[in-house]
Structure 1
Amino acid sequence: MGDGAPILVPSGQPVTLQDVIWNEMGPHGLTMRFRFLAPQIARAGGAVDFDAAVQDMQVLCEQFALPRIAEFGPMPQQIIISLSDVAVPFGETAPEATQFFEAFALQDGACIWEIY
């Protein structure tokens, strides 16, 4: 689904959209998942740690996901942003992959971090 164009994030790492999963029910209702490739979070030789990646995920929610959610249909209750150093098919395990996930509630047009 992603066009391979890099998305600007605070860490400066090259992040690209892998895909979007919508029409999924989560614990709080309709959930949209925006999945991104972020090769610099890799355990071996990665330059971006979890703390920096969290800031990237906040920006990806607010500046990338929020402007696009209307394209997919009904307004979700939650957005999940995930970063992976390699492409992993949705729902499959990949022990060799480094993956970070954060969940956000939508409130007054903003992404509010939730414990995931």
Structure 2
Amino acid sequence: MTRWLIIAAGLAFLFWLSATATLRLVGQGGGDLVKGTEVSVPSGQRVWFLDRDIGVSGDAGQTGGSARVLYRFVAPQVVENEYKFDDVSQDMLHLCQVILAIHPADEALEFEQIVVALAERETTMGETNPDVAKFFEAFRSADNTCVREVF
């Protein structure tokens, strides 16, 4: 039991350290990520920010529509056997937490859904390419914490 508590405390410390380093990299005043900004993630793989897309889910803003934001990141190692979805799922949760931490405070739009995407290389938004490995995960914000959603 004590061993598991030590492991859990160590993982919590590594998560805190990673988040702190990422926020220093992005800047003290918050703001938004700049294309090419590297973000440290729990798996240790190399990840950098590509772009952000704000859209409306549902019927184009009519009843039932909601705002969503898609943050796309490049992670060349996701194609290697050592990084499967279970591995990068923790990275995507961490990236969502980083997004919440740096989300521009003056942005009036509140997002119902935050989608984090990891791709093995840069692609054009909306491009379909079966040769490029991509992972997606959706979250919602609850009390400034990312909560996974089921697609």
Which residue number corresponds to residue 8 of structure 1? 40
Show the counterpart of 1:29. 66
Give the CA deviation at 1:88: 1.2
Structure scoring higher RCO (CA < 8 A, sep ≥ 6) equals: 1
8 Å Cα contact 1:61-1:79 kept in structure 2: yes
Question: Which amino acid in the other structure matches residue 57 of structure 2?
Answer: G
Q: Which has the higher helix share?
A: 2
**Unpaired stretches in structure 2, ≥5 consecutive residues:** 1-32, 59-64
The 10-residue stretch of structure 1 (25-34 or 79-88) with the greater mean CA deviation from structure 2:
25-34
Tell me the residue number matched to 2:127.
Answer: 92
Q: Percent identity?
A: 32
Aligned residues: 112
Is the contact between residue 35 and residue 51 of structure 2 (CA under 8 Å) also seen in structure 1? no
TM-score by length of 1: 0.87
- Could you tell me which runs of 5 or more consecutive residues in structure 1 were left unpaired when the two chains were aligned: none
Corresponding position of 2:86: 51
Amino acid in the other structure paired with 2:134:
Q
Residue 76 of structure 1: aligned partner: 111
The CA distance in 1 between the partners of 2:57 and 2:87, in whole Å, is 26
1:107 corresponds in structure 2 to 142
Q: Which has the larger radius of gyration?
A: 2
**1:66 pairs with one of 92, 100, 106:** 100
Counterpart AA for 1:26:
S
Normalized per residue, the structure richer in strand is: 1
Query: Following the alignment from structure 2 to structure 1, what is the Cα–Cα distance between the partners of residues 108 and 52?
Result: 13
- SS across alignment from 1:14: coil
The C-alpha deviation readout for 1:60-111, integer Å capped at 9, x for no partner, is 001x210232355411111000000011111110110000000001111111
Q: Which residue of 57, 72, 76 corresponds with 1:39?
A: 76
Instruction: Give the superposed CA RMSD.
Output: 1.7
